[in-house]
């Protein structure tokens, strides 16, 4: 896990977010003592979506259904 001070974090935010996107966790330090005050983790680690297996496609494909997804019977019949 890498640690960034506030200044470093502000200067390198796009690069830091790319690291988080790849699955890394980033600690944020603050103050004279460089005390860790925050942790930036990938959204999926926080429970951003449940991982479901897709039967015979297990390990080959992924599907995520968001909480705000809605599909009524009429829309299904039109498709």
CATH number, position 33 = 3.40.1620
Q: How many domains does the chain have?
A: 1
Q: Is 72 within a domain?
A: no
Residue 48 pLDDT greater than 60, yes or no? no
The answer to whether position 50 is within a domain reads: no
Give the structural domain span for 29: 1-41
Q: 53 to each of 4, 9, 43, 45, how far by Cα in Å? A: 36, 36, 19, 18
CA distance 53 to 60: 10
Q: What value does the mean pLDDT take over residues 62-73?
A: 78
pLDDT at 46: 62
Q: Mean pLDDT over residues 52-69, rounded?
A: 75
How many other CB atoms are found less than 10 A from the CB of residue 24? 14
Q: Is the pLDDT of residue 79 over 60?
A: no
Tell me whether residue 19 is in a domain.
yes
pTM score over 0.75: no
């Amino acid at each position: 896990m890498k640690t960034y001070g506030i200044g470093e974090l502000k200067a390198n935010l796009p690069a830091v977010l790319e690291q988080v996107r790849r699955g890394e966790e980033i600690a944020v330090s603050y103050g004279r003592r460089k005390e860790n005050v925050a942790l930036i983790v990938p959204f999926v680690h926080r429970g951003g979506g449940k991982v479901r297996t897709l039967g015979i496609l297990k390990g080959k494909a992924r599907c995520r259904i968001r909480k705000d997804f809605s599909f009524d019977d009429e829309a299904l019949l039109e498709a």
